[in-house]
Structure 1
Amino acid sequence: MSADSLDQPNLTVHHFVHGSSSTFSTSRSLILGQSRRLVAQVIDNAERWQLTYRPAPSKARDWSTVCFTYAPRPPYIEGTRLINLKEWGTPVDRDEVFRIQDLQEFSSTNFTAVYNKAVTPTRPAPLLDGLPLTKRKRDDDPLYDLIPQPHFLSSPDCPSERKIKLPPYKKSRPVMIPPYDSPLTEPFGEWDRCAWLVPIRGSLPWSESTSGMLLDSSYDTPISPTTQTNEIIWTHKAVSKFWAFLLEIRTAGNLGPIGLSFHPASPPYGSEKSVRISKTLATERHTGLSRSSTSGSAPLVTTMDYIKIYHDWAKTLYLRRILDAWSFEIGESKIRVLLGAKLVLLDDRSRGVMVL
């Protein structure tokens, strides 16, 4: 169907229907009228339609003549005053000058909290004998002969009856290891056994715990852990003195029956800088605190050197305080090697209880 007149453009309408033409009931004049009105609306509102031109790709169809974008004019708000920019160098009017005294007070201008915030200075890298620790040689050899045999001492049957006269350890709050939670008095009895782990070389699977590193036998000065490194820097002499100190505690018996064991790592020593062991020191995996190990299986106990101190649960915090207070004497100076360390406590099944 087509239509043509003097005041109307040429119009050709293509109308498709389903079925035969006998079922087509709409008149041709009605279809032409509807089509003519549709075209007229487009022509009358041409000012609201803009043709967009864009460079056509070299091997693509040119859509510049068939693409349109709807861009209505912005609304006009009555009563608004247009801003007329002044010429450069025009004097300032009186209504453009404001005095600070005439301005209203701000709702809040108290910035004292910014100046009161403590700034933690950057601590220099630990030094050993006047040189950076990174330049010191580490001992990666097996440690079977680090301390004298035997490396396992069972708990004595008849501990001393003398009572402890020192307060328990309260320097920091413990980080509990699931499924254990505070308070700790519920799951443990007075005579239940547990053990503190002191790392000599390597790391435990809990990122909050302190790791250990052993220097070559040519060095004498150990370094206690810092908030930046969280690592105990041991020397051969410091480990030997610490083992002798633990033997004295066991012999004195003030902390009940104390058992000791030294577990050297099986050769070869782990190649990674930070070696991880499993929570159970065997095959169980830890699911509570965060682990830094990315391995799918839990590393074995043979990847770390450590000292294990068995004791009664009732003496846990007292023993922890003694470990914190122990100092290594070199010349006229004393170094508290375990000061600031985060040690792991294990229960009687070698499961992690807390980091303290």
Structure 2
Amino acid sequence: MPTLNRKEPLLIVNDLSKHFKIKRGLFGQNAKDLKAVDGISFTVYQGETLGIVGESGCGKSTTGNVITRLLEPTEGEIIFDGQNITSLKESSLRKIRRDMQMIFQDPFSSLNPRMKVFDIIAEPLRTHYSYSAKQLKLEVLDLMEKVGLSEAHAYRYPHEFSGGQRQRIGIARAIALKPKIIVCDEPVSALDVSIQAQILNLLKKLQRELNLTFVFIAHGLPAVKHFSDRVAVMYLGKIIEMSSKKDLFKLPMHPYTMGLLNAVPIPDPSQRSQITKSEIRGDIPSPVNLPTGCRFHPRCPYADEQCQQIEPAFEEKKDGHFVACHYPLSQQFLTKEG
């Protein structure tokens, strides 16, 4: 399992899988497994941000839902703050949920349209604590101030706010219980570009002030680069590369990662990857009918017979840099393209 010699681990995920049964045929008699998450392992350390990135359908959002136990895992274990929470019943999870919160992608659908902002933010406080009315009001207004909202916003409904303001409400709700970790499921993808930077800067500010730890899920590489300390790249339910942000963006080892990076326009040549150009061909295969060998080989311009038949191990190739590829950063990439 990938680890680094840094702060104490807060979240440890071992061989985690989430499969969904897909019924086919007239009477649904032919069932197959859709392997949304298929045996991933990673560690998140206290105070850091681990970014998880990949195309739509790679399993990154399912990963977030499983580690917060919004979805039940099929296999594997989730160890949070030293406690195995994989099989905890709902009554036991109640205490854990104070320390593990989530910010959702759509800031409108994640807010109750019939509740005023004050009550949305106050709901977790009422559930877990016994505040007096005065204490509750002070606490809610303090949370609103932390995320850039004023008291005048407290008694309005979600539909009266812009997308960025709604996400600030969701963030206030997420930090209300002073959690140890927050899973952010594409928290800026539904927002205008001009607002995305404001929300990311707000999250970084709150991380410093409240000593928060983040799992940051996104399909946009610029947001991950701006916000994360380490990055895990997912493809078809697997983590295929993981390293520090600096190493991943400067010298990626997997051709899929190279393709993702080369798809992002970067005006400054000094900031571009040092690896030769690599493009991702075709469409992502179905997670119901996974390719043999390396899952990326049907789209990889460098794949050979070994890639088609043997699944590469997820191994550490240099200090803290893990990759699942038979030929990471090999001369083959350079010679085949040239």
Instruction: Say whether the fold is shared (TM-score over 0.5).
Output: no
TM-score normalised over the length of structure 1: 0.19
Flag the structure with higher strand content: 2
Flag the structure with higher helix content: 2
